[in-house]
Structures are given as C-alpha cells and as structure tokens.
Amino acid sequence: MKRRLPPLLALRAFEAAGRHLSFSKAADELNVTQGAISRQVKLLEEFLHARLFRRLTRQVELTSFGQDYLAAATSALDVIERATARSLSEARVLSVSVLPTIGALWLMQRLTAFMIGHPEIRLQVSSSLEPVNFKRDGIDVAMRVGKLPGNAYDALAPQIDFRMTESWDDVIVSPLWEDRITPVLSRRLADRVGPVATLADLKRLPLIHNLRRPDCWPAWFRASGSDMADGAGRIDVGHSFMAVMAAREGTGVACVPTVEIENLEWRDELLRPFELQVPSAGAYYILYPKDRAGSKDVKLFAGWLVDQCDGV
C-alpha cells in the first residue's frame, strides 16, 4: 500500500520551528532563510488541510493540532536519527587515496556503484600525487602510478618520476594497468583548423604540456621517428587533469595517458588522431600495507578495483 506521507523537507522545517517556536531560529538551525521556513510550513499546512501555527505580531504559537502533530513529528525524526547514528557507527570505514586525475576522470563515476553494492563500507576518499605513508596518513588502500623498485625500464620511453610510497617495507603491490600515452584534441578544434592526420599538422597547433610529466611529448615524438619538439605554440599546465580539460576546450593538443580519456562520459568530444600509443616507463598499481592484507574490506575493494580495470 502506498504511504501517504507529507513532504519531508516541510516536515523537518515544521519540527524545527515548532521546537523553537521561532521561524528565524529554525532557519538558523537548518541554514536556510526565514522565508524558506515559512514557505515549507505553509506547504505542510496545505497538505494537512489544517493550521499548525498561529502567527502573532512577533512570535508564533502552535495550534492544538500543531502541538499533537509536533509530538508525532519529533518522535518519528528521533527514531530516524537514532537508526542513522547506529548505522554510521556500525559502518566500516575504508580510507582510500587515489591520483587526482584518475580520481576525477575515471574513479568517481564508478564509486557510486560500489557504495550501493556495499553499504556496510563507508569510503573516505582523498587524492594525492605524493608518495603514500600508510601509518602516518591512516590510509588503507592507495592507487599510484610509477616504477617498481628493481625493475628495468626503457630509457627512451615516457618517464614517470612519481614516487609511489615513502617506504616499500611491508607494502603489497598489485598491477592495475599499463600507462600508454597518445595525442588528443577536441573535435571542435579539428573542425576549425582542418584535418589532423600527420606530424606536420601538429606544427600548426599549440601543444599542451603537463609539467608533472614533461617527457610525454618528447618521448611520443621519438617513438614516432620525429625530432619535432613543439607546435605552433606551447601551453604548460600543472597536471594531467588540466591537460585533458584544456584539450576538451580546444586550447590545443595534449599528450596524455589513454586511461584518462577512454571511459569519459564526454569522450566522443575528443579525437585521437594517431594510432601510436607509447608505453611509459612505469604503470598504475594498487598498494596496501601488509598488516591490512587480511582485511575483508581491503580485499573486496582491491578486487573490485582490478575488475574495473579489465579492458582499460
């Protein structure tokens, strides 16, 4: 049977106003205007076909019906508040540190599905490019990009110079995906300047450089067999997210990791004019401390994250 419930925002406004016997104090508590409280109370009165307050010159007072309804509303909201507090206290907190660009362009659009599927886990998500310190920062799981100690890497490949962790002692690492870079520009820019199909075409366009990954363009040109260094102009940005957004706005051509653009909702706005994707000297990994390896929640999130990377 369908419930006949009043508008819940109006009920909350009425309960605060009735408890304070003041629309202005209710407005302060709920961080809205006094007019908003008045409108919500009026909406509730219209829904109930009954007056809840008598409006006096400088104050309000509850009608007889309003007193009864306030008692019922307060009791119901108290029950909801206690149940909410109990749920939050029982939720298992998992602290996750992710890369800013991957977090903004790739991960956040997927986290809702994880949270719906696992309401017992309360995620605390932060973003950073800095090497993770699990003990100091209280981090359970980290996503980072870089080189593994002891591995040999191609000196001519695009270099990734980020340190993933301050110490590899007692840190477990699992691969997520390779880092491959390629040029990208907006279709609007291509429509404006004409086809972009050859290296010579790049000379007509500004090239967007990520100062955090300064080797991307030089390494890509080396892999393409060209000694070309720049285009018609140079635009420097602070990190990869800004490079992708600048490309989207038609500012120029960016050279970015493919993972950052393959799953964007607006990826059709972008054009990858060259097939060449150059593997970097480094990759993306998930890291967690050894003492958290037995955690059910860490295993669950790490497994889910790896599943999200399939096909990327």
What does each C-alpha distance from 86 to 38, 83, 90 come to in angstroms? 32, 5, 6
Whole-number average pLDDT of the chain? 88
CA-nearest of 284, 205, 285 to 240 is: 284
- 241-276, pLDDT tens digit by residue? 899 999 999 999 999 999 888 877 788 899 999 999
Q: Which sequence spans correspond to the domains of the chain? A: 8-89, 93-309
Mean pLDDT across the stretch 162-184?
A: 93
pLDDT of res. 7: 87
pLDDT for 3 equals: 81
Whole-angstrom distance between the N-terminal and C-terminal Cα of the chain? 46
What is the structure's pLDDT at 69?
Answer: 94
CA–CA distance, 180 with 239 (Å, rounded to integer):
16
Write down the CATH number for the domain with range 93-309.
3.40.190.290
| Domain 8-89 listed as CATH 1.10.10.10 | yes
Average pLDDT for residues 210-230, to the nearest whole number? 88
Confidence check: pLDDT of 70 > 90: yes
Joined together, the tokens standing for residue 264 give 């964007």
Q: Is the pLDDT of residue 91 over 70?
A: no
Q: Following DSSP, what letter does each residue of 185-200 receive, concatenated?
A: EEHHHHHHH----SHH
The H-or-E segment that residue 254 falls in is strand 253-257
Output the pLDDT for position 312.
55
Predicted pLDDT at 311: 52
DSSP string, 242-276: HHHHHHHTTS-EEEEETHHHHT-TTGGGEE-----
pTM for the model stands at 0.67
Percent of the chain with pLDDT over 70: 96
Identity (one letter) of the amino acid at 56? Answer: L
pLDDT digits over 118-137, tens only?
888 888 889 888 999 998 88
Query: Has residue 187 got a pLDDT over 80?
Result: yes
